[in-house]
Each structure stands twice: as C-alpha cells, then as structure tokens.
Structure 1
Amino acid sequence: MNKTSKMVLLAIMLSFSLVLYYIENMLPPINLIAPGAKLGLSNIISLTCLYVFGFKEAFVILFMRIFLSSTFYGGISTFMYSISGGILSIIAMGILKKLDLKSVSMIGISVVGALFFNVGQLLVASFMISNTKIFYYLPYMSFISIATGIFIGITSQFLTEHLKKIIKKN
C-alpha cells in the first residue's frame, strides 16, 4: 500500500471512529451495574488499526479521536478521562499483541484493553477527588468491560479480516 492510500484509509478510520463515538453518545448508558458505562464502540477502530496498521498508527488514531471528540462533544474532563484510559488501553493491547501469545486472541486483547481503559479512568478520578477508594468501583466496571471487550473484539476481528482482504486487492 502506498503512502497516500494508507493516509486516506487512516483518515477514513478516524472518521468512522468519530461517527461511532457520536452514535454511542446518543445511546443511553449501561447503568445496570456500573453507572455511566458505555460500549466503547470507537474502540473497534482502535483495535482494528492496531492489527491492520500497527501500534504507531493506532495510537495516533486513538489520540486524534479523543482530542476531536472531546473538543466537539465534551470538555477538559472528558479529555482527561478518555486520554488516560485510551493510552493505558492501547499500550496494554500493543504489548499483548507484540508478545504474540497463541493463547490470547484478538477478543482477549480487546478485553484487556477495556480493563486497562477503566484503570486509566479511575487513576484520573482518584487524582481529581484525592481518594484512592474509588478503585473499589473497579470490579463493577470490570464486569461490564469484559462483556463490552468481547463485543468489541468480535466486531474488530470481523472488520480486520475484511479490511485486510480489501487492502490485499489494491
């Protein structure tokens, strides 16, 4: 794939990520177990980019999505929570992918990413309220993260397979 095609495809991936973020914000939160929980639909694109393009490109797409979505739909607190969770998530997924463990699928990597996203958010929350007891909330958040991580992983696996076929043809 030449540089121009790659850049256009990455721009499209960023656009898809922003659209998924917007759609998710229109959906009601998953308040059954963890108030404020979301599906993390835009993470489909982050995980797919990690597998199709690599860590550096996935990191850039993640950062740009968080920056733009926070600018349009959130604020500084949205940015702080999202960037801390996003960076921890993409680093954890990148390391796990690089280890190339045969026993850990894309779905498993997605679950790990979801869990680390929560850890990043709680780190910011504990800093903002100056109380580490907020981490008692982690088991509840983790329950939702496992379910959403599986969903995101399955969806990303499907998208990655088809995207790689399209890239091969061109």
Structure 2
Amino acid sequence: MTKTKQLVLTALLFAVALVLSVVENSFPPISAGIPGIKLGLSNIAVMFALFFLYKRQAFTIAVLKALFVLSVRGPIAGLLSLGGGVLSIVVMALLVFAFKDKISYLILSIFGSVAHNAGQFIIISILYTNMYLWVYLPVLLFAGVIAGIATSTLLRFILPALKKLA
C-alpha cells in the first residue's frame, strides 16, 4: 500500500471515528446511575485500522481522537481518551501478535474494551487518589465486556463496507 493511500485511509478512518463519536453522544446515556459508561462506537474505526492496516495507523487514530477530545471536552477527558485508547491498542496488538489468526474479533474487541476502561481507570486513579474509586472498577470491567461484544457485532456488520476502502 502506498504512503498516500495509507494517509488517506487513516484520515478517513479518523473522520469515521469522529462521526461515530458524535452519533454515540447523541444517544441518551446507557445508564443514568453509572457515569462514564459508553459503547465506544468510535473504537470500531480504530479496531479496523489495527486489523486491516497497520498498528501505526491505529495508534495515530487513537492519538488524534484524544487530541480531538482534549480540544472539545478538556484536558481530563483528553487524558482519559489517550490512556484508554493507547492501552486498548497495545493489548489488542499483543493478542494479535501472540495468536495471529487464531483469535476472533469478538475476543479482541472484548479485551480491547476492557483494556480501554482499565486505561481510563488508571488515569483517573492517578488524577484522583480517592480509594473509593476501586469500588467502581468491577463495574467498568463488566461494562467493557458488554461494550466489546457490542462493538465487535457492529464491526462485523460494517466490515464489508470498510473492506472496500482498504
């Protein structure tokens, strides 16, 4: 793949991630009593980049998403996005490296989503040293499993359209 095509696909996937984020933010909260629980639809674009392009493009999209979040939601949200996105990609990339073609998108998506929530939890634990945060960790991990299943299912549905791009 030429560098120009890589750049265009990365930019297009970043735009898709932003659109998915805007769409997701227009939905009512999944759980009003539990703050911060989202499906993470924009991570579909990052997962596609990781699976079908190169790891560098997936990291680029995650960092660009974090910079976008920083610019529209502030520094804490930007740090949470960066921490979650980077840890998610690292975990999924390690799993792809370790298991090659023997691991399903569903398992990768679940591990990526759980890692994303764990990365955000690590960042928030550093920023706010309140020990009561640890009570929230099981909720985030469970939500990560549910979000991973949902994003994997959605990726499967939109995969034919995205594969035409690559």
Fold shared per TM-score above 0.5: yes
The question of whether the paired residues in 2 share the 8 Å contact of 1:21 and 1:69 is answered with no
Report the alpha carbon displacement of residue 129 of structure 1 after superposing the two structures with TM.
1.7
1:83-107 Cα offsets, whole Å, 9 max, x none, are 1111111100111111125653111
The question of whether the paired residues in 2 share the 8 Å contact of 1:59 and 1:90 is answered with yes
Report the alpha carbon displacement of residue 76 of structure 1 after superposing the two structures with TM.
0.3
For residues 135 and 102 of structure 1, what CA distance do their matches in structure 2 show?
Answer: 35
1:34-84 Cα offsets, whole Å, 9 max, x none, are 32211101000010100111211101111111212321x200011111111
Alpha carbons of structure 1 residues 26 and 70: separation in structure 2 relative to 1, 3 Å: farther
TM-score (norm 1): 0.87
State yes or no: 1:85 paired with 2:84.
Answer: yes
Report the alpha carbon displacement of residue 29 of structure 1 after superposing the two structures with TM.
1.9
Aligned to 1:115: 114
For residues 33 and 89 of structure 1, what CA distance do their matches in structure 2 show?
Answer: 25
**Structure 2 unaligned spans of 5+:** none
Q: How high is the sequence identity, in percent, across the aligned residues?
A: 33
Between 38-47 and 124-133, the greater mean CA deviation after superposition? 124-133
The question of whether the paired residues in 1 share the 8 Å contact of 2:91 and 2:111 is answered with yes
Alpha carbons of structure 1 residues 33 and 112: separation in structure 2 relative to 1, 3 Å: farther
Residues 1-170 of structure 1 mapped to structure 2, 5 A cutoff: 1-31=1-31, 34-71=34-71, 73-100=72-99, 104-167=103-166
The question of whether the paired residues in 1 share the 8 Å contact of 2:9 and 2:165 is answered with no
Structure 2 counterpart of 1:97, one-letter code: V
TM-score (norm 2): 0.89
Between 28-37 and 122-131, the greater mean CA deviation after superposition? 28-37
| 1:100 alignment partner, SS class | helix
RMSD between superposed Cα atoms in Å: 1.9
For residues 37 and 44 of structure 2, what CA distance do their matches in structure 1 show?
Answer: 16
For residues 34 and 103 of structure 1, what CA distance do their matches in structure 2 show?
Answer: 35
Structure 2 counterpart of 1:108, one-letter code: I
Alpha carbons of structure 1 residues 13 and 94: separation in structure 2 relative to 1, 3 Å: same
Between 130-139 and 18-27, the greater mean CA deviation after superposition? 130-139
Between 86-95 and 102-111, the greater mean CA deviation after superposition? 102-111
